[in-house]
Structure 1
Amino acid sequence: MTTAPPPGRAYIVAHWKAGETTLPVQYNPTKLEFEKALQFAEIAIPGLTGPLHQFVRGQAETLTVELFCDTSDKGMGAQAVSVATETDRIYSLARIEPEGHAPPTITFFWGAGFPGSQLSAELDGGTRVDGQRRQSFTGVIKTIRQSFTLWSVGGVPLRATLTLTIAEYKTLKEQLDELNLSSPDRTHGHVLSSSDQLWSVAQRYYSRPGEWRRVAEANGIGDPRRLMPGQRLAVPAISAGRAPR
């Protein structure tokens, strides 16, 4: 079992193949930076003034954290202690573990109210995202930069700053369990209005206008431009737990 440092102290847990290691940071960081990018595809629909945007996937969120390390309080002369006693513990997390054939995944912890822990349980319209709350950040080190800024008279490094960029890491099962994706599990019926197009029907039921061909094929429609108001369409089901691709 991993033993956490005292409350309020930031720490990192390394998930090695052979087991876990807890690494308290020497000083709590003064800043955390989170970045999350989303990828959308442009769907060209004839006759519209601009393309529609269809969600493709989320990209890995990143956490950038700056850690300060200092051993100058041990002295600047012959008794100086290298700050590498602190920095190498963190730098080792970017090294390949022989048993795992890769660097370890790591989890950054720091107190209550961690960013992402307060995601609304229910948003307008009843959309639930509480399954995506978090109390920490798990990922792999994407980059690590060491900057040494103070030296003893004998050339021993005494002060340093480590900048880590950690890319989010989640297994497929963890992502599916968190998202709890929903989609139509039965065929729907839709009566066309004068303003409907197949892409708008696909947008309504699938949230993906590019899936209009699915509707066209299910109803034997050869020309999507020739639709009759009042015509009843069958909107085919999507496999449970999967959005159409």
Structure 2
Amino acid sequence: MLMPLQPAGGSSGLEKLTIHYEKKWEKDWLGSIEALFNPQELQISRSVNWETIGGEAVGEETTIEQQFKTISPQSMSINLFFDTYERHKKSLFGALPSLNPFPSPKATDVRKYTKRLAKLAQVNAELHRPPLCKLEWGKFDNLFVGVLTSIDQKFTMFMPNGMPVRATVTCSFIEHEITGTELHSADIPKLHTVNRSDSLHSIAAQMYNDPSQWRRIARANQIANPREIKPGMILIIPTNL
């Protein structure tokens, strides 16, 4: 989903998007990187994984269904803009380049900022892995907690000596932890031994309280003719309706 955001703070001042990260211990959040310019949008995505099942013919019918498997962690993509060439004026989204066509005498190497982001994709010697990151933005606290999965740096302006002074950095994060009771399918099939008086209709009524669900049992056991079941047969009973 695309999320255009407004910075918090109102009259009390501009809030900057900040990336907190681990430095020595798990979730110590001792490190922080403040955005030079606030982003104008964030993109947060999540996918739900389904598996296509069925396709076997039962009599004259063929049914294909989607069976829930898992919920994937959220991912977030953010573009951060850095400009160390021109003088800046404050706006709703932070400092913006002025329209002054003449170079600022205080232009500095933009990599001073981009290198700090790039380090989030490197192994931390204390943690023996890249650090976890926690993004916050004013009242949008705990915006996202995850790990950096990719970073793309695009340098778009250079001084005559080759020093980069403008860049856009695209960071992609994935959620570190996802908890809940409905993340995975509880589809653990049951087994039923056919009795002399059983039919697929009666078994479906017993298992699902719905005799019309007999086709699910037939498909799971590749039974083409429902009259062919015999006492002693062991049938797989799918648990998901």
Percentage of matched positions with identical amino acids: 23
TM-score w.r.t. length of structure 1: 0.61
Shift of 1:42: 2.0
Structure 2 counterpart of 1:233: 206
> Tell me, what secondary structure is at the counterpart of 2:115?
helix
Shift of 1:232: 6.9
1:98 aligned onto 2:71? no
1-side partners of 2:62 and 2:35: how far apart? 54
Shift of 1:78: 7.3
Shift of 1:140: 0.9
Residues 135/222 of structure 1: CA separation in 2 closer, same or farther (3 Å cut): farther
Q: Which residue of 86, 101, 104 maps to 2:113?
A: 86
| Correspondences of 1:80-159 after superposition (within 5 Å) | 80-112=107-139, 114=140, 135-159=142-166
> Tell me, what secondary structure is at the counterpart of 1:147?
strand
**Is this contact kept in 2: 1:13–1:106, CA < 8 A?**
yes
Shift of 1:226: 2.4
> Tell me, what secondary structure is at the counterpart of 2:109?
coil
1:33 aligned onto 2:6? no
Shift of 1:34: 1.6
Structure 1 counterpart of 2:62: 49
2-side partners of 1:77 and 1:29: how far apart? 23
Shift of 1:109: 1.4
Deviations 1:47-98 (A, max 9, x none): 3533221111122221010000011136848753101111111111111111
TM-score w.r.t. length of structure 2: 0.62
Structure 2 counterpart of 1:13: 20
2-side partners of 1:231 and 1:30: how far apart? 55
Deviations 1:103-153 (A, max 9, x none): 1011111233x5xxxxxxxxxxxxxxxxxxx84111111110001111112
Shift of 1:41: 1.4
Give the structure with the higher percent helix: 1
Structure 2 counterpart of 1:191: none
Structure 1 residue runs without a partner (length 5+): 115-133, 183-205, 236-243
Deviations 1:19-64 (A, max 9, x none): 4212111110122112211111123265353322111112222101
Give the structure with the higher percent strand: 2
Deviations 1:175-195 (A, max 9, x none): 1xxx2459xxxxxxxxxxxxx
1:60 aligned onto 2:73? yes
Structure 1 counterpart of 2:33: 23
Q: Give the structure with higher Rg (CA).
A: 2
Shift of 1:227: 2.9
